Chains A and B, each alone.
Chain A
Amino acid sequence: MSDPNVGEVERHIADRLADHDLNGPAFDPRLIAPDYRGRLQMDASLDLLIGKVQPDASSDSDPGDAP
């Protein structure tokens, strides 16, 4: 997974927060971004274990589909 630049990351976070109606000072994308970036880096490290596949990637835009 590519690592978007800072502006793109914050815009993506803001969009996702809005999707979930998470508003207000507790949800500042600038404060969330470092953790988000770290988690994407951790995810990228999984390429070495499972390859670059995205299992069932058809609904990739929706994170709320846990079993």
Chain B
Amino acid sequence: MRSVPEIAAALRSQDVTAVTLAEQFLAREAEARDRLHSFVAIDASQLLDQAAVCDAELSAGHDRGPLHGIPVGIKDIIDVKGYPTRCGSPLYPSTPADCDATVVSRLRDAGAVIAGKTTSHELACGVVTSPVSNPWNLDHVPGGSSGGSGAAVAAGLVPVGLGSDTGGSIRIPAALCGTVGLKPTFDLLPLAGILPLSTTLDHVGPLGATVTDCAHAMSALVADGTDFSDGLDRGIAGMRFGVLTEEPFSPLQPDVESNFHAAVDVLRSLGADCVDITIPELTHTLAAEFGIIPLEAFEYHEQSLRQRPFDIDPEIRTLLTAGAVLPGSVYRRACAARVAIARAITAAMTVHRLDALVAPTLPATASPKADTEHAYGDVSEPIAASYVRTTAPFNLSGQPAISVPCGFDREGLPIGLQIATRARHDKLALQVAAAFEQASPSRPRVPDFW
């Protein structure tokens, strides 16, 4: 029992209580803690109190919906009342937040029980999330920067975790850990109470064990009455998808490439028309992404950089310092490039009459923790650039993009399929992902973590 609908049904049939779920979470997390490191803070008292309230409400006939009584992990850059927000950094104090981020407040309103704070890569600025381990192989990274949420969901500790995504930080751990992860449309979800990295590119969104789990989380997070789980079973017959295989979606590890093409065949078998397309502007993805982030990150962290530089990881310190010393034209040109890339994607989708774009979420599976580069034949590439080049296009465009598991490499590490729809078509992204998930031969596999 690990998905939201399964748990929700068990709660309503009184096969389990929210308190029992909370106690099970606490026991399992304690058992996994030294191997997984997916949570940095858990307030057992708060958790059990919330769960008891949820049980009482259900008993009284007050049903808040699918998330009622279900434990959810919150990335530790997102404020949760009563918890410190440490952001994976010694810069931030142990003082508890005095109120919830808006997205957390909305989850509580929907009945979710806050299980605790999940580990974030320092300042949400990286793709590794040390010391978290990947449940599929503890010697490999979970991805980042929402690596704690990815690992926690993949290990079955919680069915849903919240993450943030500036260059792929929801979809990267989702793909590497074999979960679903949705970066919603830019600005669809409020960022109040969340540490910024780059205000032009930041998004918040869910990671879930299944597409349905993410859909239920989105219904709670948007909180305007939209049911994101409605229509997930409509299928994709008659839809038209653009298949992205050229730079930056090349080169790929061979197993990623073969699984991706098999995934496209699955989409075709479900009645979708899949056509290869090229968007040359996307070759400039990293120049735009890495031209925007330093200055915006420096603007936010300037005081910390000046006063406590040695409390910042050297690589992140270099990035922040770049924001201070680079000419302003670098930032402005990157912003212009972002607009050009977004327009090019929109134009391609219009010209080719596309409902969605499909691409590999990442060019590589989860790296061993000690590795710093990926090898593609004779070419090597720094891990950060390698993981970000295939996800960042949709941070630049702001359109929704979801990663759904689509297979495994020869070492048994998960691979993700990425589906991007037009802005505000988040439900369609979930619908396509759900159709693929139902048809995907790899769907039942879970890590042999326990």
A residues with CB within 8 A of B: 1, 12-13, 16-17, 20-22, 24, 26-27, 31-32, 35-36, 39-40, 42-43, 45-46, 48-50, 53-57, 59-67
Beta-carbon contact of B324 and A50 below 8 Å: no
Q: Is B330 an interface residue when CB atoms closer than 8 A count as contact?
A: yes
User: Is B333 an interface residue when CB atoms closer than 8 A count as contact?
Assistant: yes
B309 beta carbon closer than 8 Å to chain A: yes
Q: Which chain B residues in 206-252 approach chain A with CB under 8 Å?
A: none
Partner of A13, one of B323, B325, B341: B325
Asked whether A36 lies within 8 Å of B328 as measured between CB atoms, the reply is: no
Q: Could you tell me if B326 and A36 are in contact, using CB atoms closer than 8 angstroms? A: yes
Give Cα distance in the complex from A24 to B111, angstroms.
50
Contact across chains for A66 and B296 when beta carbons are under 8 A apart: yes
Q: Which residues of A contact B318 (CB under 8 A)?
A: 31-32, 35
- Determine whether the beta carbon of B295 is less than 8 Å from that of A55: no
Contact A46 B284 (CB under 8 A): yes
Which chain B residues numbered 240 to 299 have a C-beta less than 8 Å away from chain A?
A: 281, 284, 286-288, 290-291, 294-296, 299
Q: A46 touching B324 by the CB < 8 A rule?
A: no
Q: How far is the CA of A14 from the CA of B55 in the complex (A)?
A: 61
User: How long is the Cα–Cα vector from A17 to B327 in the complex, in angstroms?
Assistant: 12
Contact A1 B329 (CB under 8 A): yes
Q: Which of B284, B299, B329 contacts A57 (CB 8 A)?
A: B329
B322 touches A36 (CB 8 A): yes
Are A66 and B321 in contact (CB-based, < 8 A)? no
CB distance from B316 to the nearest CB of A (A): 12
Contact residue among A17, A24, A55 (Cβ-Cβ distance under 8 Å from B333): A55
A56 touches B306 (CB 8 A): no
Q: Are B333 and A20 in contact (CB under 8 A)?
A: no
* Complex contact A16–B284 (CB within 8 A): no
- When distances are taken between beta carbons in the complex, the residues of chain B under 8 Å from A45 are 284, 287
Q: Flag whether B32 is at the interface (Cβ < 8 A).
A: no
Are A63 and B326 also in contact (CB < 8 A) when A20-B302, A27-B321 are? yes
Contacts A49-B284, A55-B335, A66-B299 given: A42-B290 contact, CB under 8 Å? Answer: yes
CB of A39 within 8 A of CB of B322, answer: yes
Pick the contact of A63 from B281, B305, B317, B328 — CB < 8 Å? B328
Residue in chain B with minimal CB distance to A20? B324
Q: Nearest Cβ in chain A — how far from B199, in angstroms?
A: 8
Q: Is the CB of B287 within 8 A of A43?
A: yes
**Beta-carbon contact of A39 and B286 below 8 Å:** no
Complex-state Cα separation, A12 to B318, whole angstroms: 16
